[in-house]
Amino acid sequence: AQSVAQPEDQVNVAEGNPLTVKCTYSVSGNPYLFWYVQYPNRGLQFLLKYITGDNLVKGSYGFEAEFNKSQTSFHLKKPSALVSDSALYFCAVRDVESGAGSYQLTFGKGTKLSVIP
Amino acid sequence: DTEVTQTPKHLVMGMTNKKSLKCEQHMGHRAMYWYKQKAKKPPELMFVYSYEKLSINESVPSRFSPECPNSSLLNLHLHALQPEDSALYLCASSPRGREYSNQPQHFGDGTRLSIL
């Protein structure tokens, strides 16, 4: 079984400050990890993914995420937050070893990010 | 702009109506998905089609009936829905095949469904 935890329902950050949205995961094998963003009245938009290799992954719109295997974490970060980054963020995991169902994603509950001007 | 197109964007229907949601992608993806999303919650998987065949049904009530007429199209037929079925219905697609299992799913903007 695979699972994702996003411990914060909401994160507030001032514009220009660095932001972090937390994610921890549990899989029986190795993980593929994804971050998605959802703006109001829109679908989920892919930001970045970790599959293997470098633990620091860079993605769209200046976002990056750090994979930490020992802490089973994949926190989303951005050095300087913009008001336009305000949205709902979802972390998702897929177990590499899950075989025929390997294309299924397990999502975290989501974190609402509010960037204050 | 999203590469997965869903129509209609909004749908209001009575509990006795029959309607259909449509999803289309032209990325050559051979896995397509229907999700249901309630406000401020993560998407819940409903159905998965793999190579145009129903692969996964997550115990969805029979008032929801999926159909995959070809590799680009996915429909969700609705009949006798309940008020609790009001939600955002999202379609997604991804490449199929083990070598593509590290690829993300691509989502449409959804259909906002309201049941009166």
pLDDT digits (tens, 9 = 90+) for A18-62: 999 999 999 988 889 999 999 998 999 999 999 988 899 999 999
What is the spatial distance between Cα B103 and Cα B75, in angstroms, rounded to a whole number? 23
Distance from CA of B86 to the nearest CA of A (A): 14
Q: What does the pLDDT read at residue B12? A: 96
Query: What would the mean pLDDT of B73-79 be, rounded to a whole number?
Result: 97
Residue B69 · residue B62 · CB < 8 Å? no
Q: Say which residue the tokens 């999502």 belong to.
A: A107
Q: Which of B96, B104, B112 sits opposite A46 (nearest CB)?
A: B104
Please state, in angstroms and rounded to a whole number, the distance separating the CA atoms of residues A74 and A80: 19
Report the percentage of chain B scoring pLDDT > 70.
98
Q: Check residue B101 and give its pLDDT.
A: 78
* pLDDT over threshold 90, residue A14: yes
Q: Rounded CA gap, B50 and B30, in Å?
A: 6
> Between chains, do B101 and A105 touch, taking CB under 8 Å as contact?
no
For the segment B44-57, the average pLDDT, to the nearest whole number, is 93
Answer whether B114's CB lies under 8 Å from B17's CB.
Answer: no
A99 pLDDT band, cuts 50/70/90, is low
CA A108 to chain centre: 9
| Tens of pLDDT, residues B96-106 | 877 777 889 99
